[in-house]
Amino acid sequence: MEPQSKAEDMLAENGNAHSASAWIQEHLPRGVWRSVFREDRLFLILSVFIGVFSGLAVVCFRFAIDWSRLYLLGTGAVLTPVRMLLAPTLAGLVIAVLVIHFFPTARGSGVNQTKAALYIFNGNIPIRTAIGKFITSALAIGSGHSLGPEDPSLQIGACIASAVGRKLRLQRDRMRLIAPVGAAAGLAAAFNAPISAVLFVIEEVIGRWTAGILGSVVLSAVSSVVVMRWFLGSESLFRIPAVELKRPTELIAYAALGVVGGLASVVFASGIAWLRPVCKALPRWSQYFQPAAAGLLIGVIAVLGAPQVMGAGYEYIDQAMHGQFTWQFLAILAGLKIVATLLSFVSGTPGGMFAPTLFIGAMLGAAVGGAEHVLFPHLTGSPGTYALVGMGVLFAGFLRAPMTSVFMVLEVSGNYSIIVPVILANTVAYLISRGLQPTAIFDLLTRQDGLELPSMEEQREEDILRVEDAMQPVEGPVLDAEKTLDQAMQALDHLECEHLLVRMTPSGWASITRQQLLKMASEGKGATSLGSLLPILQVPFLHPDHPLETALRYVDRWPLVPVVSRADFRQLEGVVTQRHVLERYREFGEG
């Protein structure tokens, strides 16, 4: 009989779960027991499955967008005015009905919903959300709404991951983390950029780096990209022009781009912050018409001469990179795209903001580059270089993902020489955006929706208390373990302190109370060394830079916790006590 069925029989016979468990532990080989019960291994394998499923879903999503575009807007490179007006308007009506009646959770970009799954719903996202997102986003983007496929792909990936986790009844902590794993897979496949996807999910969704989760996120992202490339090829979203920085003085030009990009990010984010609540406050019946109205206005913009604002617009980013527009027209396109995206997004049309952000950034970058070339003809950077840097600038300024923005440009361009202008311009844009718009766009949206999800940006910049903030100088003498009890008593002669620290040999610390010393002295152990009298269990020590919460683990058990130098563990820097730690926290809370 197999071991597990024996165990089951046992349980069935006497209902004694404990004895069955004990039997399993006793009889099953230890390696099998471990490997079966270790969820982290299972989680890694699952990550590959999630990556594959997400990759396949994203490929289908791309096909759906494509077919939607073909049938709604036509096959030509030049769209007819009738289609430009009717397609987004009628699609808007259908989308509104679908979102209101069938897929209410498909609204929005998808990033915050994934964060909500992580922090509120224990990783649970209904599969219906993915279906709704798939259909409505494909319809919206294909019909010309100014939205992108990346954020929906991210959410579709998260939904798939959540469904897989539910089927396998993962533990709660694993379930929570599985949605970001799927999100990374979805985003990586949509972007064809696994590093950026991993960074974005870590930077914006999870907010922390741990080896376990990083492995899963990377595996899922790589798997999904492999699947996506299998079907759609490995070509970049746009043809990357030759990029080089000949003179360091040209960095000033890129810094100027950072300033313009930062301001544009603020305008874009402020527009959403102002208009979204206004649209949400309108009567319920108006929600049936908001996406259609947004679609109609976008159609009007297109008919008036800027059809480039329709859809994700990657082909126009490519054209901007290759100098196919004048800088004036590029600037106009950037402005119109902000308006079009604002309309699409605040109307509740499902779709992402990544592609529009890249579009605006590319247009703005190429426009600034073109204008700078007119003013300073000796500049060597091509419009394509500025467009590429511009994409990163808006990513950093609007989405507030500075790390991702840098790596995204590097990954998309495949050119390391652009790193200095990108870092400079992105940092400038990020600082301006953060200075003028303190709340990041994703946090703003969650707060508008009445949720309080952790803000990764706020967390990154939160002041944290360290041990050195609560550390106090040592009041009494520090005894050495080689000293005898009598010598220790002499040192204590005129002092009032109750607790004493003992420096052990060759390393480590112990503590002893005055009462214990007196008791041992009365027992006639005066000539014995302290080291041999003290208990084996030593006092844990801390370093000044440790977070103060680390001290909380020890201060209730040890009245005096030594704080020692990292260079020399025997060198005492100070001590922390429970009272001082709590006082410090109280002061911090009072501001």
Partner 1 sequence: MDAQEAEMASQAYARYRFYLRQRPIMMAVFSVLAVLLFLGVTVLSRAHQAQRQAIAERWFNRGIADLNAKHFDAAAIDFRAALLYSPDEYSYQLNLAEALIGKGHTGQAFAYLTNLWDREPENGIVNLELARIAAQRGETDNAIRYYHNAVYAVWPSNQEGMRRNARLELIELLLRNHLKAQAQSELIPLAENAGPDPVQQERIADLFLRAEDYEHALGAYNAALKSDRHHAAALAGAGYAAFELGRYQLAQHYLQSAISANPNDPESAERLRTAQLVLHLDPFRRQIPAAERNRIVMEAFAAAGQRLRSCALPTVKASAPASVPSPGDEWARLKPQITEAGLRRNPDLADTAMDLVFRIERETSTVCGTPTGTDLALLLISRIHEGS
Q: Which residues contact partner 1 (rule: CB under 8 A)? A: 4, 7-8, 11, 17-18, 20-22, 24, 36-37, 42, 45, 49, 52-53, 56, 59-60, 63, 66-67, 70, 75-78, 164, 167-169, 227, 231, 233, 235, 239, 241, 315, 322-324
Give the shortest CB-46-to-partner 1 separation in angstroms: 8
Comparison of 21 and 507: residue with beta carbon closer to partner 1: 21
Sort 452 into a burial class: Cβ within 10 Å, 0-12 / 13-18 / 19+.
exposed
Comparison of 210 and 324: residue with beta carbon closer to partner 1: 324
Q: Distance between terminal CA atoms of the chain?
A: 66
Nearest 5°: CA angle at 120, between 114 and 123?
55
Structure tokens at 416: 């390391």
Nearest 5°: CA angle at 475, between 470 and 479?
115
Comparison of 17 and 582: residue with beta carbon closer to partner 1: 17
Residue 503 phi, psi dihedral angles, 5° rounding: -85, 115
Give the shortest CB-319-to-partner 1 separation in angstroms: 8
Comparison of 33 and 102: residue with beta carbon closer to partner 1: 33
Q: How far is CA 360 from CA 149, 242, 260, 352, 415, in A?
A: 16, 21, 12, 14, 21
Comparison of 240 and 502: residue with beta carbon closer to partner 1: 240
Give the shortest CB-36-to-partner 1 separation in angstroms: 5
Give the shortest CB-18-to-partner 1 separation in angstroms: 4
259: nearest Cα among 341, 371, 352, 343: 371
Peptide bond between residue 506 and the one before it cis (omega within 30 degrees of 0): yes
Helix (H, G, I), strand (E, B) or coil at 96: helix
| Contact between residue 184 and residue 157 where contact means Cβ atoms under 8 Å apart | yes
Give the shortest CB-421-to-partner 1 separation in angstroms: 21
Structure tokens at 566: 């990292």
Give the shortest CB-329-to-partner 1 separation in angstroms: 14
Sort 449 into a burial class: Cβ within 10 Å, 0-12 / 13-18 / 19+.
middle
Pairing of strands 561-564, 572-576: antiparallel
Comparison of 324 and 565: residue with beta carbon closer to partner 1: 324
CA atoms of 348 and 281, how far apart (whole Å): 12
Comparison of 164 and 309: residue with beta carbon closer to partner 1: 164
Give the shortest CB-580-to-partner 1 separation in angstroms: 36
CA atoms of 576 and 529, how far apart (whole Å): 26
3-state secondary structure 326-363: CHHHHHHHHHHHHHHHHHHHHCCCCCECHHHHHHHHHH
Give the shortest CB-221-to-partner 1 separation in angstroms: 17
Give the shortest CB-21-to-partner 1 separation in angstroms: 4
Show Cβ contacts of residue 34 under 8 Å, excluding neighbours closer than 6 positions.
none
Give the shortest CB-434-to-partner 1 separation in angstroms: 36
Give the shortest CB-234-to-partner 1 separation in angstroms: 11
CA atoms of 277 and 272, how far apart (whole Å): 8
Sort 256 into a burial class: Cβ within 10 Å, 0-12 / 13-18 / 19+.
middle
Comparison of 168 and 263: residue with beta carbon closer to partner 1: 168
Give the shortest CB-213-to-partner 1 separation in angstroms: 21
| Contact between residue 65 and residue 310 where contact means Cβ atoms under 8 Å apart | no
Comparison of 164 and 218: residue with beta carbon closer to partner 1: 164
Give the shortest CB-59-to-partner 1 separation in angstroms: 6
DSSP state of 538: P
Comparison of 239 and 579: residue with beta carbon closer to partner 1: 239
Residue 348 is which amino acid? G
Comparison of 322 and 447: residue with beta carbon closer to partner 1: 322
Comparison of 49 and 554: residue with beta carbon closer to partner 1: 49
Give the shortest CB-184-to-partner 1 separation in angstroms: 18
Show Cβ contacts of residue 408 under 8 Å, excluding neighbours closer than 6 positions.
191, 193, 196, 391, 392, 395
CA atoms of 269 and 264, how far apart (whole Å): 9
Residue 466 phi, psi dihedral angles, 5° rounding: -120, 165
CA atoms of 358 and 362, how far apart (whole Å): 6
| Contact between residue 344 and residue 351 where contact means Cβ atoms under 8 Å apart | yes
CA atoms of 466 and 453, how far apart (whole Å): 25
Comparison of 63 and 376: residue with beta carbon closer to partner 1: 63
Comparison of 188 and 510: residue with beta carbon closer to partner 1: 188
